[in-house]
Amino acid sequence: MNIVIDVSVLIDRLFIYNEERSRKARNVFRVVDEKGYNIFEPQVFGVELASQLIRRKPRDIAKRIR
């Protein structure tokens, strides 16, 4: 089975800004792993990731990650 996970969930998994959101994001990825789901990455993923990173990190760091 394929699943699409919103970029904000990935950001919550990678960076702890809110412990509750990070805990929920960890649980999502745990379930995906346990069930053996494939994560589908739409074409806009990179754009969405860059926009989320720019909100949370200095622009020069976000550009390097992109």
Ranges of the chain whose pLDDT falls below 70: 59, 61-66
CA distance 44 to 39: 14
Name the residue with tokens 């919550």.
12
pTM across the whole model: 0.71
Quick check: 35 and 51 in contact, CB under 8 A? no
**What is the Cα–Cα distance from 30 to 26, expressed in whole angstroms?**
6
- For residues 12 and 48, the answer to whether their CB atoms sit within 8 Å is no
Question: CA nearest 25: which of 46, 7, 3, 40?
Answer: 7
The percentage of residues in the chain with a pLDDT greater than 90, rounded to a whole number, is 39
